[in-house]
Amino acid sequence: MKITNQIHLIKYPFFISVAPGKQIERFVNVFALLGEKIHLIDTGVADSFPVIEKYLKDQRREIKDIASILLTHSHPDHIGSAKKIKEITACKVYAHPAEKHWIENTELQFSQRPVPGFQKLVGGSVKVDFELYDNSLIHLEDDLTLRCFHTPGHSAGSVCFFSENEKILISGDAILLPGEIPIFENVEDYLNSINKIRNLKPKLILSAWDEPRKENEIEELLKKSESYILHIQKTVKKVVEKGTNINSMEFCKQVVSELELPEILANPLLLKSFQACLL
C-alpha cells in the first residue's frame, strides 16, 4: 500500500503457534522507503521475504536495490527476513545497541525469550552495521532522512523512525492497544515513550501491526495505550494481593483471566510482562 510517494506499507499475515496444535493469527507491517535505493524498516517474519520481493516487483523495483534495513527492535516478527535480504543485497543493518545481541545471535534470543514457533519465524542471525541512538539523524539519501527516537518499554532498545518533513512516525511495537498481547519490559519507560511520541505531534502513525492512524485519531490512540498498560499494572497488583506466587504460570493465568484475554496466551513471555508491572 502506497502511503506517500516514498513510504510503502507491505502487510504480511501469519500464524504463531502458541501451543501444540493451537495457532493465533497475526499480521505484521514492513515499510519500504523507495528512493534511488530501497530502505526497509523491519523485515517481517522469515516467510515475508517472497511477499516483500513481489511488492517491490509490482513497483518495478528489485530486491537487489535494498541498501538498508532499519530495525525497530529484535523481536522475531521484525528481524525474520533480515538475514536472507542481507545475504542477497549486502545491505547495511541499523539497530539500537540494546537490541544488538539478540539480532546478532538469534539462538541466544530464543534461549532467553522462548517465543513459540521462533525457529519458523526467524531466518537467522544478522550483523548490525550501524548503531542507532536517541535523536540520531539517519541520512539515507539526499532527500531521504529519518530521525530515530529511542522509545523503550516494549523492549529495552525499541526505536521509532520519524520523517520530520512529513511528520510521519513509524512506531514498530511501541504503542500497545487494548486487547493486544501485552508484551513489555518496563512500565515507566513505556509511558515515557508514549509521551515522547505525543510530543513529536505526528500527523500519521504507522505501527507494525495496526492500520495507519491519522492526526485526529492519534491522541485517543495514545491515551488508550496508556490506560491499557495502567489497567494491566493494576490487575497484576490485584492478583499479587491474593498471594499467588509471582514466578508461577498460575499467576500468569490468573492475570490473563482477569484481563479477559484468551487463556491460550498465558506463557512465559506474558509472565515477564506482568512481572515488569511490579518493578
What residues make contact with Zn ion under the rule CB under 5 A?
75, 173
The residue at minimum Cβ distance from Zn ion is 75
Cα–Cα distances (Å) from 1 to 10, 130, 212, 218, 248, in that order, read 6, 28, 11, 20, 43
Q: For the purposes of burial, counting CB atoms within 10 Å of the CB of 86, is it exposed (0-12), middle (13-18) or buried (19 or more)? A: buried
C-beta of 108: minimal distance to Zn ion in Å? 17
Nearer to Zn ion, 114 or 238 (CB): 114
Nearest distance in Å: CB 73, Zn ion: 6
Min dist. Cβ of residue 75 to Zn ion (A):
3
Cα gap 38→33, rounded to integer Å: 6
Comparison of 75 and 213: residue with beta carbon closer to Zn ion: 75
Where are any strands of DSSP class E within the chain? 7-19, 22-34, 38-41, 66-70, 92-95, 130-131, 137-141, 144-150, 159-163, 168-172, 204-207, 213-214
Cα 187–chain centre separation? 16
Question: Which CB atom, from 96 or from 140, has the smaller least distance to Zn ion?
Answer: 96
**Cell 500468569 -> residue:** 252
Q: Which residue number, 75 or 83, has a Cβ lying nearer to Zn ion?
A: 75
- Of the two residues 97 and 238, which places its CB atom closer to Zn ion in the complex? 97
Cα gap 252→270, rounded to integer Å: 7
Residue 94 CB, shortest distance to Zn ion, in Å, is 17
- Amino acid at position 103, single letter: I
Q: What are 15's strand-pairing partners?
A: 25
CB of 158 to Zn ion, least distance (A): 7
- Minimum CB separation of residue 78 from Zn ion in Å reads 6
| Closer residue to Zn ion, CB minimum distance, 65 or 185 | 185
